[in-house]
Structure formats: structure tokens, C-alpha cells
Structure 1
Amino acid sequence: MTTLFLMVGLPGAGKTTRARQLADEHGALRLTPDEWMLPLFGEAEPDGKRDVLEGRMLWLALDAVRLGTDVVVDYGCWSRHERTAIRWLAEAQGAGFRMVYLPVDHETQRTRIAHRWATAAEETYPLDETDLLHGRAHFEEPDAAELEGRVHGDPPPGWTGWPEWAADRWPSFVRPRAV
């Protein structure tokens, strides 16, 4: 069974490092928006373009697992709804789903981000203390039930299904063909 690995955590948690390891271990396609944003747009969050890029990457990830290729999606996925939608979509394609959550304390996060900026500024973008605190305030940490795969909730009120919710969250997302 093919697997979609979803990296979850705040900036500086080690998601991309672990995503690279998983891709190597499993011969998986790795989709990391951070590596595309700067070359394509010169910044991390230009006018909603990140959501557009993530939508197309999600479409590609689902098509790849449908075709038999393991995929590592390295988004961070701060919200429970994002994670649940991606889990549902992967499983609808007949793929396994594995969430890889990497928690990080604030001091370690700050240190790693400063090191990344000092050693690879051309591959990253600056994050200040305000950005870090904003991220922590908005991050919905996965609970044990979610980490164990026991959460398969319905989409939020007003949505008929997770594909419709995903198309709104990631404007360029198009549901791939069914298995």
C-alpha cells in the first residue's frame, strides 16, 4: 500500500530534515512548498500564492499515491481541519496515511531558525519573535486520538465533504480521479 506521510509542526521543528529522510527511506516524492516559494515568487507568503501552490501540490500528492508512489507532504499543517482533510483525501485514493508530528519548544525553535538564517539565508525566509509567537498561538497541536489515526470527523458545518472544504482552503486543489 502506498503511503502519504504528512509532516506536522511549527517552523524550526525539523520537518524538512525528517521529510528528506522519509523520502530517501521510502523512495517517496517529497513536496515542500518552502523550497518553491522563494524561487518562484521571491517571498514566503505573496498574496495567497502559497495556498495556490499547496493546492496543486496536494493534487499532485494524491495523484502520485493513486499511481503507487509514496509521498511526503511537508506543509506543517497547523489546523486539525487541514490534517483531517488530507487524511480523508489520501485514504479516499486507497493510500495509507501517516502523520509525522515534530513538537519543538520555543527556545529550540528560535535557535534552529537563527541557525538556518545564518547558514542558508538564500533557502529560507526571516522569522522574528512576533512570527514565532503568532505561529504558536494559531497551531492546533495534534492530540493522542489524532496521532493514532482515530479521528475521522466530518468537515466543518456548511461543507458537504472534505474535497469541497479542501478546494476552498487550497484554491487550486482539484480532486484527483477516483481509485
Structure 2
Amino acid sequence: MPTLVLTVGLPGSGKTTLAKRIAEERRVLRLTPDEWMAPLFGHNDAGGRRDILEGRMIWTAYEVLRSGASVILDFGCWSSEERYAIRAVAEAAGAGFELRYLELGEAQRRARAELRWREEPGSTFAMSDADHDRFLALFQPPTEAELSYAPLPAPPEGFESWPHWASWRWPTLPRVDRP
């Protein structure tokens, strides 16, 4: 059964390292927005382009899953809503879903993010302490329900389905829950 693997965590937690290892072991496609942002736009987010890119990557993942192959989205996904939506996209494609949550002590995580910037600047972006503080405040760790793959909750009010919410969150993602 094709599977969508989603890596979740803050910058420097090891998501990309894990995603690369899984991609190599399983011989599957890995989609990592950070590796595309700098070559395409010169930095991490140019006028909301990351959301545009992520939407197209989710669509690509959906198509890969429908073809019968597995894929890894190395996104971070800082909110439960994003994670539920991506899980629903995998389910709409008839695929399995694996959430891989990575966390490290804060000092180690920040040091790893800085090291990656120094060693591979084309695959990430510079982050100040203020950036890290802001990211930490925005991040919602996965709940026990998410980690145990409990049934998806109802989508947020005003949305008929999680894929509908996903197409709102990532505007370049076409609706995948209807033909």
C-alpha cells in the first residue's frame, strides 16, 4: 500500500535527515520545500511563495500516491489542522499515512539549525534567535490522538472536509475529495 510519510518538528529537529534516510531505505520520492525555496526564490519565503510551493508539493504527493508509490513530505507542519489535512489527502488517494514527530532540546535544536545553515545554505535559511522564539511560540506539538492515528476530527467550522480546508490553506492545492 502506498504511504505518505510526514515529518513534523521545528527547524533543526532532524526532519530532513530522517526524511532522507527513509527515502533512501524505501526508495521513494522526498519533497522538501526548504531545498526548493532558495534555488527558486533566493530565500525561505518571498511573498507567500512557500505556501504556493507546498500546495503544489502536496498535489504532487497526492498524484504519486494515486499512482501506487509512496512519498515523504518533509514539511514540519506546525499545526494539528495542517497535519489532519495532509492525512486526509493521503486517505483520499487511498494511501496509508505515517506521522514522524521529531523533537530535541532547544539548545541542541538551534545549534543544529545554525550548523545546517553554515554547511548547506542552499537547503535552508538563516534564523535569528527571535525567529526561533517565534517558531517555538507558533508550533503545536502533535497530540496523542494524532500520534495514535485516532479518527480524524471534524474539519474546522465553515469547511465541508479536511481536503476543502487544505485547498484553502494551500491555495494551489486543488480539491482532492471530489472528481
User: TM (normalized to structure 2)?
Assistant: 0.95
In structure 1, the residue matched to 2:64 is: 64
Question: Does residue 1:149 correspond to 2:149, yes or no?
Answer: yes
Aligned to 1:104: 104
* Structural RMSD (CA): 1.4
Give the aligned residue type for 2:142: P
In structure 2, relative to structure 1, the CA distance for the partners of 1:93 and 1:178 (3 Å cut) is farther
Q: Which amino acid in structure 2 is aligned with residue 87 of structure 1? A: R
Q: 2:172 is paired with a residue of what secondary structure?
A: coil
User: 1:15–1:102: 8 Å Cα contact kept in structure 2?
Assistant: yes
Q: CA deviation at 1:176?
A: 4.3
Give the gaps of 5 or more residues in structure 1: none
Aligned partner of 1:26: which letter? Answer: R
Query: Does the 8 Å CA contact 2:23/2:72 hold for their aligned counterparts?
Result: yes
Aligned partners of 2:114, 2:138: CA distance in 1, in Å?
21
- What secondary structure, in the 3-state scheme, does the structure 1 residue paired with 2:122 have? helix
Could you give the per-residue CA deviations for residues 21-57 of structure 1, whole angstroms, max 9, x where no partner exists? 1111111110000010000000101101100000000
Deviation at 1:174, TM superposition (A): 1.0
- Correspondence 1:27 to 2:58: no
Does structure 2 retain, via aligned residues, the 8 Å contact 1:8–1:15? yes
Query: 1:95 matched to which residue of 2?
Result: 95
Contact conserved, 1:6 with 1:74, CA < 8 A, in 2?
yes
Point out the more displaced range, 117-126 or 56-65. Answer: 117-126
Structure 1 contact 63–176 (Cα < 8 Å) conserved:
no
Change over 3 Å in CA distance of 1:77–1:68 after alignment to 2: same
Provide the rounded CA distance (Å) in 2 between the counterparts of 1:151 and 1:15: 25
Q: TM-score, normalised by structure 1?
A: 0.95
Work out the number of aligned pairs and report it: 179
